Structures are given as C-alpha cells and as structure tokens.
Amino acid sequence: MNVSEYLPKQFQIPSVFLCNPCSLNNKMDEYRSVVLDNAFDVCAISESWFMPDRDIDYYSIKGYNLFSKPRSPHTGGGVALYVKESLHASLLSNIDTPDDLEILWIKVHPRRLPRAVSTLIFTLFTFLTEPWKST
C-alpha cells in the first residue's frame, strides 16, 4: 500500500528500503546501483558487517548521508541508514538504549509533509544476543 496515494499531491512521504544483506562488503556496488536506480529516500540495513578499519568512502553513496553503527570488535552485525541529503537528517544520540542492541535513531525533516507532521524518526536495531533464549 502506498500511503502517498491517500495524501494531497503537495505532501511527499519518504520511500523506505529495508535490506539484510548479511554483509555489504562484497555487495556494495550492487547495493549502490539498486539504491540509485530506485531513488529511495531512506535505506535501512541490518547486518551491514561494515569494517571499522575500512575507509568510510567505500560505503558512501552519492547524494546520501550515511549513519552507521558497526559491530565492534567482532565481525558481523551492525546497522546502517542511508538518507537522501535533501531530507536533512541528523543522528539522535541522546536516547538511552540497552547494551544488547545495535541501534540507530535518526531524525529527518522532509520539506513537504502535512503541517501536523514536521519530523520523522527512523530507528533500526538488531540484537547482539538472543534474548528469547533462556540461559
């Protein structure tokens, strides 16, 4: 269902793409093409596997701001959000979160939303552990 169909034409609800690639390290060119070809507004990645020692430019996508929380010091995991530069996004870092979550909170200010909605908040998380399993 496309929510934008039910809003007046002057409003623009951002498009969101969610992906779990189980590592973008060997898929970055393909992922970059998918994002740019579809012109998504917000792209959320769980299991990004970004490597802290790799140059961040390797993960960049032209026209997008990257917000990332790689898993450290272990391999795997990590979350990332790409947000179109025109959406004026900023990281919300003053939110308390449990230590067993990899989580990003992003505040986005699209230019054309209904008056009652001035800001959108996106969050993406993954568990560091499996809390549903008893120990």
pLDDT at 51: 83
84 or 98: which leads in pLDDT: 84
pLDDT at 5 over 90: no
Q: What is the pLDDT of residues 59-91, one digit of tens each?
A: 999 999 999 888 776 777 888 999 999 988 998
Question: From edge to edge, which strands make up the β-sheet containing 79-84?
Answer: 16-19, 42-46, 79-84, 64-69
- Residue 127's pLDDT is 63
- Find the radius of gyration of the CA atoms of the chain: 16
Q: What is the pLDDT of residues 110-123, one digit of tens each?
A: 776 656 566 667 66
Instruction: Write down all domains in the chain, each with its CATH number in brackets.
Output: 3-127 (3.60.10.10)
Q: Order the strands of the 89-91 sheet from edge to edge.
A: 89-91, 101-108, 120-127
User: Cα torsion for 83, 89, 95, 100, to the nearest 10°?
Assistant: 10
- Residue 33: which pLDDT band, with cuts at 50, 70 and 90? very high
Q: What is the mean pLDDT of residues 1-10?
A: 56
Residue 4: pLDDT over 60: no
Region 33-57 average pLDDT: 90
pLDDT reading at 25 higher than 60:
yes
